[in-house]
Amino acid sequence: MEKTVMNAHTSPRTRVVQEINPFKMAQAQFDRVADLMGLSEDARQILRWPLREFRFQIPVRMDDGRIRVFFGYRVQHNDARGPAKGGIRFHAAETLDTIRALAMWMTWKTAVVDLPLGGGKGGVAVDPASLSRRELEALCRGWIDQIWRNIGPRIDVPAPDVGTTPQMMGWMMDEYSKLIGQYTPGVITGKPVGGGGSPGRAEATGFGVVYQIREAMKRLGMNPSQATASIQGFGNVGQHVALAFTEILGGKVVSVAYWDREDRTARTITHPDGIDPRFLISITDIYGTIDKQKAQAAGYLVEDGLAWLSKPVDVLIPAALEGQITEHTVHLIHPKVRILAEGANGPTTPEADRVLQERGVMVIPDFLCNAGGVVVSYFEGVQNEMNYYWSREEVLQRLDQHLTRSFHEVFRLAEEEHLYPRDAAYILAIQRVVRAMEMRGWI
Closer CB to ligand NAD, residue 168 or residue 222?
168
Q: Does 258 bind ligand NAD (CB under 6 A)?
A: yes
**How far apart, in whole angstroms, are the C-alpha atoms of residue 190 and residue 373?**
9
Among 343, 365, 381, 421, binds ligand NAD (CB under 6 A): 343
Q: Does 185 bind ligand NAD (CB under 6 A)?
A: no
* Shortest spacing between CB 258 and ligand NAD, in angstroms: 4
Contact track, ligand NAD, 311-330, x by CB under 6 A: --------xxx---------
165: DSSP letter = -
Closer CB to ligand NAD, residue 160 or residue 197?
160
Task: Determine which one of 121, 191, 252, 311 is catalytic.
Answer: 121
72 bridge partner residues: 56, 124
What is the H or E stretch that residue 416 is in?
A: helix 392-417
| Interface stretch with ligand NAD, choices 14-22, 177-185, 287-295, 353-361 (CB under 6 A) | 287-295
Residues 347-406 binding ligand NAD (CB under 6 A) are: 370, 373
The DSSP line for 247-315 is: HTS--EEEEEEEEETTTTEEEEEE-TT---HHHHHHTB-TTS-B-HHHHHHTT-EEEETTGGGG---SE
**How far apart, in whole angstroms, are the C-alpha atoms of residue 102 and residue 119?**
9
Instruction: State the pairing for strand pair 301-304/52-61.
Output: unpaired
Q: Does 234 bind ligand NAD (CB under 6 A)?
A: yes
| Interface stretch with ligand NAD, choices 27-35, 37-45, 129-137, 226-234 (CB under 6 A) | 226-234
Among 30, 70, 259, 426, binds ligand NAD (CB under 6 A): 259
Angle 139-122-9 (CA atoms, 0-180°, nearest 5)?
95
Q: Does 162 bind ligand NAD (CB under 6 A)?
A: yes
Instruction: State the pairing for strand pair 156-160/252-260.
Output: unpaired
Q: Does 231 bind ligand NAD (CB under 6 A)?
A: no
**How far apart, in whole angstroms, are the C-alpha atoms of residue 35 and residue 149?**
37
- Residue ranges in 65-150 assigned as alpha helix (H): 96-112, 133-147
Contact track, ligand NAD, 186-205, x by CB under 6 A: -------------------x
Among 137, 161, 314, 353, binds ligand NAD (CB under 6 A): 161
Q: Is 121 a catalytic residue?
A: yes
For ligand NAD, the binding residues (CB under 6 A) are 160-163, 205, 232-238, 257-259, 266, 287-289, 305, 319-321, 343-345, 370, 373
